Amino acid sequence: MNKSHAGRETPKVTVDIIIEVLDWQENRKATALSDRWITFEESKIVLPGIVLIERSNEPQGVALPGGFVDIGERAIDAAVREALEETTLRVTNIKQFHTYTSPGRDPRGHGVTIVYIAQAIGKPKGEDDAKTAFIADPMNLQGLVEDLCFDHAQVIADYINYRLNGERPVTE
Our finding on whether 109 is near a second copy (CB under 8 A) is: yes
Q: Does 75 bind a second copy (CB under 8 A)?
A: yes
Region of 23-31, 38-46, 90-98, 146-154 interacting with a second copy (CB under 8 A)? 90-98
Per rule CB under 8 A, is residue 14 in the interface with a second copy? yes
Q: Tell me if 165 contacts a second copy by CB under 8 A.
A: no
Among 28, 98, 123, 152, binds a second copy (CB under 8 A): 98
Query: What φ, ψ does residue 15 adopt, rounded to 5°?
Result: -125, 155
Q: How far apart are CA 14 and CA 153, in angstroms?
A: 17
Residue 70 makes contact with a second copy by CB under 8 A: yes
Contact flag: residue 34 with a second copy (CB under 8 A): no
Is residue 75 within 8 A of residue 17, CB to CB? The reply is no
For the chain, the maximum distance between any two Cα atoms, rounded to a whole number of angstroms, is 58
Q: Is 73 in the site for a second copy (CB under 8 A)?
A: yes
Per CB under 8 A, 166 contacts a second copy: no
Q: Please compute, for residue 18, the number of CA atoms within 13 A of its CA located in the half-sphere on the CB side.
A: 25
Phi, psi of 149 (to 5 degrees): -80, 170
Give the Cα separation of 128 and 56 in Å (integer): 8
129 lies in the binding site for a second copy (CB under 8 A): yes
Terminal alpha carbon distance of the chain? 22
Beta pairing partners, 55: 130
118/83 Cα distance (integer angstroms): 10
> Least distance from C-beta 61 to a second copy, angstroms?
15
Task: Please count the residues of this chain forming the interface with a second copy, following the rule CB under 8 A.
Answer: 43
Residues that bind a second copy (CB under 8 A): 1, 4-6, 8-14, 57, 67-77, 95-96, 98-99, 101-103, 106, 108-112, 114, 128-129, 168-170, 172
